Amino acid sequence: MLRWLLIGLLLYGLGTALRQGWLEVQWSQLLHDSGLTFIDPDRPMQLHELPLFNPQRPEPVAP
């Protein structure tokens, strides 16, 4: 039970730190290092620009 409390506090702290701007994730560098070479690691990328969260991606075609 104590383990779940500590995990919860850790997640809450990380969420608060990201929201308040205490931590900054460099998405372009992270994605480039993970193998997505079409992303420029030197250009800053916002969360809404990620390919997963892009609202202009095409809808899947139903079979």
**11-47 pLDDT per residue, tens:** 999 888 888 888 777 777 777 788 877 777 777 776 6
Q: What is the structure's pLDDT at 30?
A: 78
Is 11 a domain residue? no
Confidence at residue 50, expressed as pLDDT on a 0 to 100 scale: 65
Domain count, the chain: 1
Q: Are the C-beta atoms of 28 and 40 separated by less than 8 Å?
A: yes
The answer to whether residues 61 and 41 touch, using CB atoms and an 8 Å cutoff, is no
Does 33 fall in a domain?
yes
Spatial separation of the C-alpha atoms in residues 15 and 58, rounded to whole Å: 30
pLDDT of residue 61: 56
Residue 31 lies in a domain: yes
| Domain residue limits at 52 | 24-57
> Is residue 7 in a domain?
no
Question: Contact 41/29 with Cβ under 8 angstroms?
Answer: yes
What's the whole-model pTM score? Answer: 0.47
Asked if the structure places residue 9 within a domain, the reply is no
Task: Report CA Rg, the chain.
Answer: 16
